[in-house]
Amino acid sequence: MLEFLGAGENLAFVVALVIMLLIGAVEAIGLGVGSLGHDFHVDTDGDWLGWLGFGKLPLLMLLVVFLACFGIIGLIGQQLALDHLGRLLPALIAAPAAGVAALPVTGLAARLLARVMPRDETTAIDIGQLVGLHAQITVGRATQGSPAKARVRDFHGQSHYVMVEPDDPAAAFAEGDEILLVRREGHVFRAISSDRPPFSNWIAR
């Protein structure tokens, strides 16, 4: 077995499996390298990257799956060649063939793992979704050109603090005033008093 694994024709497959084990060990002891895989995102709807599993698993985990498939398929192929041909295939033939064969297996494995892996849930929302919600001035006096800080609760009950100006140039909001966010301009929201008529007209502006 050691002679088989140490053969030059199998070097690429053994190295792939060793790298896979090293990545797994780093993940297991919590050094944080796994976060590299979670920050990567690709819009893969309908393209070949999605077929390979991109976007279904963290990048680092997808790499581990590919290395495992590549190494195992390569060693199995070399064992079959040794049994039937009496010799190992040259690395220049065996490695590319194993790489091609590992791609669909990696895609299939990624889909299966994605079904059983726990998914992170988030209540984060886009800041623009706060338009149409009620808020309260908490710090300062808001006039047009001089925003004040307001607190608004999103659909998940989480509080956000935003800068607010009156939509009406003649209006002003003091601390404690209840307001309605009607539109957003950059980092500043325009608001009307919450006892004013429906705000659809202001949103359309």
Structure token pair of residue 96: 């590319």
DSSP 2-59: HHHHTSGGGHHHHHHHHHHHHHHHHHHTT-STTHHHHS-----TTSHHHHHTBTTB-H
Over 90: is that where the pLDDT of 5 sits? no
pLDDT category of residue 117 using cuts at 50, 70 and 90? low
CB 171 within 8 A of CB 193: yes
CA-wise closest residue to 178 among 137, 132, 133, 129 = 137
CB atoms closer than 10 angstroms to residue 3:
6
Of residues 33 and 96, more confidently modeled = 96
Q: How far apart are CA 164 and CA 144, in angstroms?
A: 9
pTM: 0.47
Over 60: is that where the pLDDT of 203 sits? no
Q: How far apart are CA 79 and CA 84, in angstroms?
A: 9
Over 50: is that where the pLDDT of 205 sits? no
Over 90: is that where the pLDDT of 112 sits? no
Over 60: is that where the pLDDT of 134 sits? yes
Of residues 194 and 144, more confidently modeled = 144
CB 188 within 8 A of CB 128: no
Residue 34 identity: G
pLDDT at 62: 80
pLDDT at 25: 78
pLDDT at 63: 85
Cβ contacts of residue 109 below 8 Å, gap of 6+? Answer: 53, 65, 69
Which of 27-41, 88-102, 156-170 is the least confident region?
27-41
Residue 124 identity: A
Cβ contacts of residue 105 below 8 Å, gap of 6+? Answer: 69, 73
Which of 40-54, 72-86, 177-191 is the least confident region?
40-54
Over 50: is that where the pLDDT of 38 sits? no
Q: What's the chain's average pLDDT? A: 78
Q: Which domains, and CATH codes, for the chain?
A: 2-116 (no CATH), 127-203 (2.40.50.140)
